[in-house]
Amino acid sequence: MKAFLHFLVVLLLPFSVPADRVVFKNGRTMNGKILSETDTHVTILDGGLQLKLSKSRLARVERVDNKDPAASSPATHALGEAPPSTASNSPGASSAPPPEFVGFVGRVAELDTRRILASRAKVAAQGHLKHIHQLEREIEQADRQHEAMMDSLKGLQENPVEYNATVKQVNELRVAKLNKQKQVTASKAKITQAQRTLNHYLNQSVQLIYRFQSMREAYQESHGEGHKPYFARMEARLNAHRQTFREVTVPHTRKGNALIVEVLLNGRIRGSFIVDTGASYVTLHRALAVRLNLPLAGTMVKIQLADGSIISMQKITLDSVQVGEARVAKVDALVSEEKPSPGIDGLLGMAFLKNFNLVFDPLSGKLVLTNLK
């Protein structure tokens, strides 16, 4: 039990570098990178998670110096005050951007290029996944052939010619299986790289859209309705990116710093899982695996725990893992002899989470999973 708990990680890790800061009315503070700010909310990147904080709970917002021309001017302001702006009033018919918005033109153009790369990466990943499934079927067939050949060798001890011929076939089969396993490993690596491309585009899209919206609201509050053609053009371009991804809000409960969600496995059995961005696999308790009628004898993998110790766990592949409306097929998982804690059936690790951008709002109680359509 003690060893298994090393899988758990704290999701809200503090930044160790100079960062923006929000101060709550109760005196608590949170450091991170402020991505956007509206009249009602502040979105901050904290420990790898985007946290959307209600201003009703905040006393003030403090920003560090930011040299990005597309970002807000550095400021510390109490809530109820608009962040200071250096823009000057421009005619409403002007198609040129206000000075502080000049950087968005290049960033949206870069985002357009990333969307093309992300679309190609998605197609490539689907192709690699199909190839993996074919290879895995061929490997299973090779295992059955190998087992049959090894059994036949027992009756060929007195027939050297057939015995040697069968041994040769066994060796050739082993080499072919090894090559297929290498292909599976290579294809998985390519899928991981494609997923990084997808997630990078998704993160950049969400952050740029949020930042543009918050800056536009602040600008119009201070300067009126100037630069309408520019803002309309930029909104249209950003909306084209917004239409490429979907958001799923997932109900959850809290247990300390852990987020607990209901997970549907193989479309049949539900369980309570801790969201664990530090776990490579989805991990489920053996009792849940029995209810799913999963094979309990198979590949064993060695897992290194946080304390450096190594344990062996059975590796399986779940037909599907679903959280809310977010569903992923063919998910690698491990079967554990111990539960993470009473009432918890397992860990929801990166084998599932890598397919999404994770946004958590601790104040509104929303856990949002975002991915490409």
CATH code (residue 273): 2.40.70.10
Range of the domain at 159: 109-203
pLDDT category at 94 given cuts 50, 70, 90 is low
Judge whether residue 124 has pLDDT over 60: yes
Residue 191: count of CB within 10 angstroms of its CB: 20
- Within 13 Å of residue 179, how many CA atoms lie on the same side as its CB? 6
Q: Report residue 139 as tokens.
A: 């490997």
| 83 shares a domain with 148 | no
Lowest mean pLDDT among 18-32, 210-224, 290-304: 18-32
Per DSSP, the three-state class of 187 is helix
Q: Contact, 247 vs 368, CB < 8 A?
A: yes
| 344 shares a domain with 307 | yes
| 282 shares a domain with 328 | yes
Q: Contact, 198 vs 122, CB < 8 A?
A: yes
Strand ranges, E, within 1-149:
20-24, 29-37, 41-46, 49-54, 58-62, 76-78
Considering only residues 95 and 356, tell me which one the structure prediction assigns the higher pLDDT.
356
pLDDT of residue 74: 42
Q: What is the largest CA-CA distance in the chain?
A: 98
pLDDT of residue 361: 62
pLDDT of residue 89: 44
| 87 shares a domain with 232 | yes
Residue 330: count of CB within 10 angstroms of its CB: 14
Instruction: Give the residue among 238, 240, 231 at the shortest CA–CA distance from 97.
Output: 231
Instruction: Point out which residues pair with 81 in neighbouring strands.
Output: none
Considering only residues 104 and 225, tell me which one the structure prediction assigns the higher pLDDT.
104
pLDDT of residue 14: 34
| 188 shares a domain with 146 | yes
% residues pLDDT > 90 (the chain): 25
Which DSSP state fits 306?
A: T
The average pLDDT across 191-207 equals 84
Residue 166 lies in a domain: yes
Residue 95 lies in a domain: yes
| 301 shares a domain with 269 | yes
pLDDT category at 189 given cuts 50, 70, 90 is very high
| 274 shares a domain with 234 | no
| 326 shares a domain with 258 | yes
- As for how many domains the chain has, the answer is 3
Q: Contact, 349 vs 282, CB < 8 A?
A: yes
Considering only residues 318 and 363, tell me which one the structure prediction assigns the higher pLDDT.
318
Per-residue pLDDT tens for 42-93?
A: 888 765 556 777 787 788 888 875 444 333 444 555 554 444 443 444 444 5
Q: Contact, 214 vs 36, CB < 8 A?
A: yes
Considering only residues 193 and 340, tell me which one the structure prediction assigns the higher pLDDT.
193
Judge whether residue 365 has pLDDT over 90: no
Sign of CA dihedral 222, 223, 224, 228: negative
